[in-house]
Structure 1
Amino acid sequence: MSVGDQAAPAISIIVPHYQDLHRLDLCLSALMAQQGDLDFEIIVSDNMSPCGEARVLQAIAGRARLTMATEKGAGPTRNAGVAAARGAVLAFTDSDCVPDPHWLARGVAALSTYDFVGGRMVVLVADDGRMTGAEAFERVFAFNNRRYVEEEGFTVTANLFCARALFDHVGGFRTGLSEDLEWCRRATTVGYRIGYAEDAVVGHPARADWGELVGKWRRINAETFGLFKGRRHGRLKWGMRNLALPLSVIRHAPQVMRSPSIAGLPTRLRALRTLAAIRLWRMGDAYRLLFRNPS
C-alpha cells in the first residue's frame, strides 16, 4: 500500500467525502484491511466540509492523501480525486461505505474480463432484529447493483472499477443529474463493456428513518429529472413514468413478503408501509419538479 511514496502505485482508490468523519474513519479502516498483494493509494477528496481541512486530516490519520474539491457536488468531488490520483487503475467507493477485505483484489481482477466493473452492494443496518421501516425497505430494494449492471447498463459509483485511460477517454462525472448512470451510459455508448463482479462487495448503511429516505429520493428524483428533461419528449415521458408509481406498490408488495433480506411479519409490514408512503411521495415530488421547471 502507498500513501505518500514517490513511486506511482498501480491502483488509486477514490473516496469522496463531505462532513462525515466517523464513517470516513470506518471506510479508511476497511480499505487499510484489504487482502492480497496490492499496490494502491487512497485519495480522500473532500468537498469543503464545514469542519475544515485540519479535522479531515486528523480523521485520515496518515492513511490517505487528501485533496480539496472546491466545486460542489459528488461528481466534481470524484473528478478532483481522479485528478490527484497516480494509479493506472481507479477504484471508486464512498466515505460512508465499508468495503469487504477482498473488494479491491476481486474488483481489479474482474477488469481482465470487462472494461469497467460494478461490484455487489449489501445494505447494512444497526440491528437486524429491530429494523425501522426505512431500513427494512432499503434492505429489500436498495442497491441491487447486479440488476443495474446486467439490465440497465450502469453501476453505482460506490463500487466502480475502471482503467484510468478509460476514465480519461469517457470524461469526468457531471453534476445535476444521476452521475453514475450518465457516466456509464457515455462509456457504453463509445463501446466499453460493463461487467458485474459478485465477489467485490461493498457495504452501505441503510437510511435509518423517513427523513433520511426522503432526502435520498429528493436527490435521486432531481438528478433523474435532469436526465429526462434533456431528451426529446422527456417531460412527457417523465410525467407518464411517475403516474405508474402507485401501481408499483401492488407489483412490489409480494417482493417484500418473500424477501430473504428481512424476517418477521412486523418488519415486513413496516417495509410495506414505507414502500407505499415513499412511492406516493416520489410521485408528488416528481410532479413538483415538472411544474416548477416549465421549460
Structure 2
Amino acid sequence: MTTSPPPPDRLPDGFVVRLAPATRQRDGGTTLLGGSPFRQLRLSPAARPLLRDGRVEVTDARTAALAARLLDTGIADPEVSLAAPVPVVTVIVPVKDRTDGLTRLLAALRADPGTAGCPVVVVDDGSAAPAEVAAVAAGTRLLRHERARGPAAARNAGLRVAGTELVAFLDSDCVPAPGWLARLAGHLADPRVALVAPRITALDGDAGSSWVARYEAVTSALDMGPVATRVAPLTAVSYVPSAALLARRAALGDGFDESMQVAEDVDLVWRLAAAGWRVRYEPAAQVAHDHRVAPGDWLRRRAFYGTGAALLAQRHGPAVAPVVLSPWSAAAWALALTGRPLGLAAAGGVLGTASVQLARRLGAPGSRPPYGLAASLVLRGTTASGRTLARAVTRHHWPLALAAAVASRKARRLVAAIAVADATDGWWPHRQEVGLATFAAGRRLEDLGYGAGLWLGAVRARSGAALRPVAPPPIQQPGTGQRPTR
C-alpha cells in the first residue's frame, strides 16, 4: 500500500503554534523541554525573539521553519481557527446490517449545519437485507458489495468515488456532535496535515445500562483522551481509530490496506507518518460511539483488536512494541523488585547515576548541570516505566505471568499485587464516575481478552515481534548552530 508524498513543509502566513501545556521553558525561555518522545530544544539567538508569550506566528520562512519544528516534536500545538468557512466534505459511511445506527447517523448529519449540505456516500458491505439499507440511505450515494469485504475495502470504495478534496469517514454506530467538522477542518490549514481525528466518547444513555457500559464510558479503547496532540508511532497518542476521521483525499494514496480486517487504521496512520505527513488528534471535536456492551461481544472485540498487533509488527517493526523501556529503568526495577535492602540500594544507585548523566546532557555549556531537574525527570520516567511494566504483566504478557504464578508462590503474590496496583492506578482519575470494583473487573477482563488475541496473532504469524520490548529513543538534544531551532 502506498501514500502520496506530502507537499513542501511551508506553513502559511498567519498560522500560529503555541507551546503545549506540558512543555517547560528554562534558561529564560531559551531552552524547551517536552514533546513526545521527550526532548530538549535550545533556541538560537536568532530564534529566541520569534517565540513570544509561548507562541509563534508564521510571517516568513524563519518563523515557518521554527513553527514546523515545534509541531513535529510535539513541543507545540497549532492554534485552530473556527472563523474560516468549513469546506465541502464527502462523508463516507461503511455499514453492514446496522440500519438503526445508520438512520441515527444520517439524521445527525442532516441536522448539523456544518454537514447538512455535504455529499454522503454509504457503502453497504454485504448486508443481509440490502433493501433495508437502501431505504435508510435514500438521498445518499449508495454503493454495495455483494459479499462482505471488510471495513477497509468499504472505506476505499467510498474514497474512490469522492469528488471533494476532503473526506470524512464515519462508522454507522457513530453520532457526531454539532460543530465537530469545523473543529477538525481548522487543522487542515497546515498543508502537511493528512488526517485529523476527534475524540470518541460513549453515546448518551450507555453509561448506566451495564457494568461494561460504565467501564467503557471512562476508558474505551477508542477514546484517546482529553489532550490535543500530534499522532505518530511511539508517542503518547500513537494512532487514532477509523471510527471517525477527517482526511485530505490526496494524501491517502491507495487508502486503507484491504488485506487487514483489523488495525487497518493504525497501519494507515503509521504509513502517513513515515511518508512525512502530519496527523493530529483534536478532542475539542467529539463523536459519540455506540459501544459494544454485551460482555461476550465486548471480550471478543478486545481479543480481535489484539490479533492486529502481529500484522502491524510485520509492516512496521518495533513501532508496535508493547513495552518501551530504557535500560536504566529496566535495571532499577529489576533490582527493586528483589525486595531486598541491597537490591533497593542498588536501584537507587542506578537512578542516581542516570540523573547525573542526564543533568550533564541537559546543562547549557558553561553552566552548572541541572541535577534537580534531571532527578525529577528520571523519577518521572521510572514511574511511567513502572506503569508500563505493570500493564505488560497484566495485559500483553499475562500468559507468562500466569505460568510464573503457578510455578512460584512469590511470583503469585507479586502478580496479584501488580494486578491490584494497576487497576487502582487506572481507576483513580475516574473515581468520581465509576466504582473501583467495576473498573478493576473491566480492566482485568479487557486485558485478558486483548492479551489472548495478541498471543493468538503472534502464533498465527509465527513471530514474536509484537511481544518484544524496545528501548526508547534517547532524549534528543540538538547541538549549537544558527538554524532557527538550535
TM-score normalised to structure 1 length? 0.82
AA aligned opposite 1:274: G
- Cα distance in structure 2, aligned partners of 1:50 and 1:15: 17
> Per-residue CA shift, 1:150-187, capped at 9, x if unaligned?
4234221122112211123xx21013241111101111
- For the aligned residue pairs, the C-alpha RMSD in angstroms reads 3.0
- Cα distance in structure 1, aligned partners of 2:281 and 2:230: 6
Q: Which shifted more, 152-161 or 72-81? A: 152-161
- Cα distance in structure 1, aligned partners of 2:420 and 2:319: 24
1:210 aligns with 2:295: yes
The answer (yes or no) to whether the contact 1:97–1:203 under 8 Å persists in 2 is yes
- Cα distance in structure 2, aligned partners of 1:37 and 1:283: 39
**1:98 Cα deviation (Å)?**
0.3
- Equivalence for 1:77: 154
- Equivalence for 1:282: 450
Seen in structure 2, the aligned counterparts of structure 1 residues 237 and 30 have a Cα distance that, compared at 3 Å, is closer
- Structure 2's unaligned 5+ residue stretches are 1-86, 324-391, 402-417, 464-486
**1:293 Cα deviation (Å)?**
4.3
The answer (yes or no) to whether the contact 2:105–2:173 under 8 Å persists in 1 is yes
- Equivalence for 2:247: 162
The answer (yes or no) to whether the contact 1:12–1:86 under 8 Å persists in 2 is yes
Q: Which shifted more, 225-234 or 193-202? A: 225-234
Seen in structure 2, the aligned counterparts of structure 1 residues 112 and 196 have a Cα distance that, compared at 3 Å, is same
- Equivalence for 2:202: 123
AA aligned opposite 1:56: V
- Structure 1's unaligned 5+ residue stretches are 1-8
**1:78 Cα deviation (Å)?**
0.4
- Cα distance in structure 1, aligned partners of 2:310 and 2:115: 43
- Equivalence for 2:134: 57
- Cα distance in structure 2, aligned partners of 1:122 and 1:194: 20
- Cα distance in structure 2, aligned partners of 1:84 and 1:292: 35
**1:224 Cα deviation (Å)?**
2.1
Q: Which shifted more, 229-238 or 38-47? A: 229-238
1:242 aligns with 2:396: yes
- Equivalence for 1:11: 89
- Equivalence for 2:67: none
- Cα distance in structure 2, aligned partners of 1:58 and 1:261: 43
- Equivalence for 1:35: 113
Q: Which shifted more, 179-188 or 220-229? A: 220-229
- Equivalence for 1:67: 143
> Per-residue CA shift, 1:110-144, capped at 9, x if unaligned?
2114442111211125354x342211221222122
> Per-residue CA shift, 1:80-126, capped at 9, x if unaligned?
11112111111111100001121122222221144421112111253
TM-score normalised to structure 2 length? 0.52
**1:280 Cα deviation (Å)?**
2.2
Q: Which shifted more, 221-230 or 78-87? A: 221-230
- Equivalence for 2:255: 172
- Cα distance in structure 2, aligned partners of 1:236 and 1:92: 28
Q: Which shifted more, 247-256 or 277-286? A: 247-256
- Equivalence for 2:216: 138
The answer (yes or no) to whether the contact 1:24–1:59 under 8 Å persists in 2 is yes
Q: Which shifted more, 87-96 or 274-283? A: 274-283
Q: Which shifted more, 196-205 or 250-259? A: 250-259
1:104 aligns with 2:181: yes
The answer (yes or no) to whether the contact 1:149–1:155 under 8 Å persists in 2 is no
Count matched residues: 279
- Cα distance in structure 1, aligned partners of 2:276 and 2:218: 33
- Cα distance in structure 1, aligned partners of 2:115 and 2:451: 49
Seen in structure 2, the aligned counterparts of structure 1 residues 261 and 227 have a Cα distance that, compared at 3 Å, is farther
Q: Which shifted more, 207-216 or 37-46? A: 37-46
The answer (yes or no) to whether the contact 1:115–1:194 under 8 Å persists in 2 is yes
- Cα distance in structure 1, aligned partners of 2:266 and 2:311: 12
1:228 to 313, 317, 334: 313
**1:232 Cα deviation (Å)?**
5.6
Seen in structure 2, the aligned counterparts of structure 1 residues 121 and 233 have a Cα distance that, compared at 3 Å, is closer
**1:65 Cα deviation (Å)?**
1.2
